[in-house]
Amino acid sequence: MPVLRWRIVQSSSRHAHRPGEAAALVRTSSCVTRAIAGETLIIPIARATADLESIFTLNDVGSRIWQLLASPVAPPQLVATIAREFDVSPAAAARDVAEFLDALRAAGLIAPVEG
């Protein structure tokens, strides 16, 4: 069973764009985040209304990554933090963090830090 998992109710069909993997990433302002019953919900906002076709429901690990993305953070820092805080191997953390970041990029929920 994978160590890191998040549930995506429905994901966006947009394609992921992967800038340099070491580039710092940060959340975009195109969503609303709520913690409900111990889970984090991310609801993308499209044209001033919620995009109910792309609601993300995050577990503890996904919620922690989302929390870290409130400030610019590079993927290697995310991997190190997740491996340390959730007692998983760096290889497993790297694989799952990369997959999660791809899903967030595809939905337009994170972007590289400019400058």
pLDDT of residue 47: 54
User: What are the φ/ψ torsions at residue 100 (nearest 5 degrees)?
Assistant: -65, -45
Residue type, 28: T
Q: What type of residue sits at position 61?
A: V
Q: For the domain covering 7-13+24-109, report its CATH number.
A: 1.10.10
Give yes or no for a contact between 2 and 96, defined as CB atoms under 8 angstroms apart.
yes
Tens of pLDDT, residue by residue over 27-56, are: 999 888 999 888 899 988 865 555 556 788
**N-to-C CA span, the chain:** 39
pLDDT at 113 over 60: yes
Amino acid (1-letter code) at residue 63: S
Q: What is the mean pLDDT of residues 61-66?
A: 95
Closest C-alpha among 5, 115, 103 to residue 55? 103
**Closest of 101, 111, 56 to residue 77, by C-alpha:** 101
